[in-house]
C-alpha cells in the first residue's frame, strides 16, 4: 500500500464491525507474521491491522533513515487510508517505542494503548550484555543462521527450538538497511520525560525472564503512565508473543474494559 512516499505491506484481519480496530506495531527486523499466534488468540470480532516497516518483511526499504516521529506520521496517513478515525494501539518490543510516539503525537486517534516487552528507549534499563551485543551487530538476518543467533538470545525458555524456528522464519528484513534504520530510530529516542502526558488507558506487559527488555522497564512505564495497568508474566522476549494464548486473553479482556 502506498502511503505518501512509503510503500508498506499491510495486513488486515477483518472483524465483525462491533469492536474498535486494533493497530499492531511489531518488533525490530521481524515481519508481521511473527504476531500470527497473538492475532489468532484475540477475539475474532476485533479487526487487526498490521504492517511491515520499511525494509522488513514484504515492505521495500526506503533510501534515507527515518525517525519514530516520521514513521508515526506514516501510520497517521495509513489510518486515513483505511478510513479509521480511532483505533486501539499495541506495540511489541521496538514497536512499543513507535506506539508510544504515536500516542504522544496523535493521541486523539488512540483509545487504548498496549505496550508489550518494551521500554522508554535510550534511557531505559538495559538487557544482558550478551543480548545487547547481539542486537547491535548488523547481521544479514534474512540468512537463517544469523537469525537463529538472535533467536537463541531472546528466547529464554528451555526447549524453545520450535519458537526459535518460528522467529527465524519471520525475522527477515528484505534489506539490511531495514534493520539498521529501525535500530537508528531508537538509538537516541526516549519517551521518559513525556510518559505522564500519555492519557490513554494503558496495559503494560513484561516478561519475567526477558533478557532483551528486563521487567524493570515495564514497571517504569506503568509507574509513569497515569492510567496504566501492569502485568508481569512468565517467559522471555519471544515467548510472550509466540505462546500467545495468555496474552491474547489479557488483551481481549483489557479492550473490552475488563481487568486484564
Catalytic residue annotation = 93
Cα-Cα-Cα-Cα dihedral sign, residues 229, 232, 235, 237: positive
How far is 87 from 172, CA to CA, in rounded Å? 27
Q: What does the chain come to in residues? A: 260
Please state whether beta strands 87-92 and 110-116 pair in parallel, antiparallel, or not at all (unpaired): parallel
Phi-psi sector, 219: left (phi>0), alpha (psi -120 to 50), beta: alpha
CB count, 10 Å around CB of 228?
A: 19
Count of C-beta atoms within a 10 Å radius of residue 140:
11
Nearest to 34 by CA among 186, 187, 196, 147: 147
Short-list 39, 165, 136, CA closest to 90: 39
List CB contacts of 75: < 8 A, sequence separation 6 or more. Answer: 23, 25, 51, 98, 102, 106
| CA–CA dist 39, 51 (Å, integer) | 13
Amino acid at each position: 500500500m502506498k502511503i505518501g512516499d512509503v510503500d508498506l505491506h499491510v495486513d488486515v484481519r477483518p472483524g465483525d464491525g462491533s469492536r474498535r480496530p486494533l493497530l499492531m506495531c511489531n518488533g525490530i527486523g521481524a515481519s508481521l507474521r511473527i504476531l500470527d499466534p497473538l492475532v489468532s488468540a484475540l477475539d475474532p470480532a476485533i479487526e487487526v491491522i498490521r504492517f511491515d516497516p520499511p525494509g522488513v518483511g514484504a515492505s521495500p526499504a526506503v533510501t534515507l533513515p527515518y525517525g519514530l516521529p516520521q514513521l508515526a506520521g506514516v501510520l497517521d496517513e495509513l489510518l486515513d487510508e483505511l478510513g479509521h478515525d480511532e483505533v486501539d494501539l499495541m506495540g511489541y518490543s521496538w514497536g512499543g517505542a513507535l506506539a508510544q510516539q504515536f500516542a504522544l503525537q496523535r493521541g486523539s486517534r488512540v483509545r487504548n494503548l498496549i505496550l508489550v516487552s518494551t521500554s522508554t528507549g535510550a534511557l531505559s534499563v538495559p538487557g544482558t550484555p550478551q543480548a545487547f551485543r547481539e542486537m547491535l551487530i548488523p547481521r544479514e538476518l534474512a540468512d537463517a543462521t544469523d537469525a537463529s543467533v538472535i533467536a537463541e538470545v531472546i528466547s529464554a525458555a528451555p526447549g524453545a527450538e520450535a519458537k526459535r524456528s518460528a522467529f527465524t522464519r519471520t525475522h527477515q528484513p528484505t534489506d539490511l538497511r531495514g534493520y539498521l534504520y529501525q535500530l537508528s530510530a531508537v538509538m537516541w529516542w526516549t519517551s521518559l520525560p513525556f510518559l505522564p502526558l500519555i492519557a490513554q488507558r494503558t496495559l503494560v506487559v513484561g516478561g519475567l525472564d526477558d533478557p532483551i527488555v528486563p521487567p524493570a522497564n515495564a514497571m517504569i512505564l506503568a509507574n509513569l503512565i497515569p492510567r496504566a495497568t501492569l502485568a508481569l508474566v512468565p517467559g522471555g522476549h519471544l515467548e510472550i508473543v509466540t505462546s500467545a494464548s495468555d496474552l491474547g486473553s489479557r488483551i481481549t479482556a483489557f479492550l473490552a474494559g475488563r481487568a486484564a
